Structure 1
Amino acid sequence: MTINNNTISKGFVLAGLTNSSVLIFSKLFTNPVIAEFDTTVMSNFGLLMIFIWGLAYISIAKNYQQVKWLVAVFAIEKFIYGFIWLQWHLNHSVSAVFEKNLLAGVFYSIYGINDWLFFIFFSFVFIRLMRK
């Protein structure tokens, strides 16, 4: 399977846009329920940093080939968030989040899936760049 550079560039933009969805789930950082269930990673500051990571993905969409090690950093970052999400689910109940707030419940249900998918994407891109 061959994926062209334009499709990969769109993947970086998609990664950035999905990270930007924290603005919706957090209601522009006014939804206290997200931070309540993970005061460290999902504080308003943490959510802001997720948004900033998304801007970083978009910023290299057209020239990702020149920053292969940054793509590796993105893969590591997504692995960490995915791992934290799994840990959270092993120790918490997402139904408790849904009881307090629908948007926060949806956020905790899906954010790690997004992280694992983009971990795979960034890893694929990095490996492809290393082979060139």
Structure 2
Amino acid sequence: MNSKVLRFGFIAAALMNIGGVLTFSRFFTNSVINEFDPVVMSNFGLLMILVWGLAYLGASFVNSNIKWLAAAFALEKLVYVIAWLVWFLGNDISSVYEQDLFAGFFYSIYGLNDFIFMLFFAWVFIRQNKNA
């Protein structure tokens, strides 16, 4: 497996988590995100998304087999994708946009972003399983 692709993917996941949360939450001051999903997207939940981003960043510097770490990351992303789908089915995204453009954009894309990185982490797991 190409280590540059692996490293880039993990760094991209880290930047999306860290940069996305800090940008769309306006450094944890955008209460509209919290209001529309007070369990998953509370400020504590957003902080934990940052922590996951730091874990991805740390993983980008591991040069040995990280298949089980990638599997854990894929599972974590699956949980967020499911949470997003459940949220999307029970909420009206236009009402989020009416209150705040950043929050609306956040809720529009976070599940798609997590789905893409879930596929990447699953791919890393599968590829490293084949190479083992």
TM-score range, shorter chain: over 0.9
Q: Show the 5 A alignment for 1:57-72.
A: 57-63=56-62, 65-72=64-71
- Aligned partners of 1:37 and 1:64: how far apart in 2? 40
Match in the other structure for 2:77? 78
Does residue 47 in structure 1 map to residue 46 in structure 2?
Answer: yes
Report the count of equivalent residues.
Answer: 130
TM-score, normalised on structure 2?
0.95
CA contact (8 A) 1:65 1:129 kept: no
Match in the other structure for 1:36? 35
RMSD: 1.1
Match in the other structure for 1:6? 4
Match in the other structure for 1:90? 89
Segments of 4+ moved more than 4 angstroms: none
Deviation at 1:65, TM superposition (A): 3.6
Does residue 126 in structure 1 map to residue 125 in structure 2?
Answer: yes
TM-score, normalised on structure 1?
0.95
Which shifted more, 62-71 or 8-17? 62-71
CA contact (8 A) 2:65 2:128 kept: no
| Percentage of matched positions with identical amino acids | 52
> One-letter code of the match for 1:8?
L
The one-character-per-residue Cα deviations of 1:63-87 (angstroms, maximum 9, x if unpaired) are 1643321111000000110111111
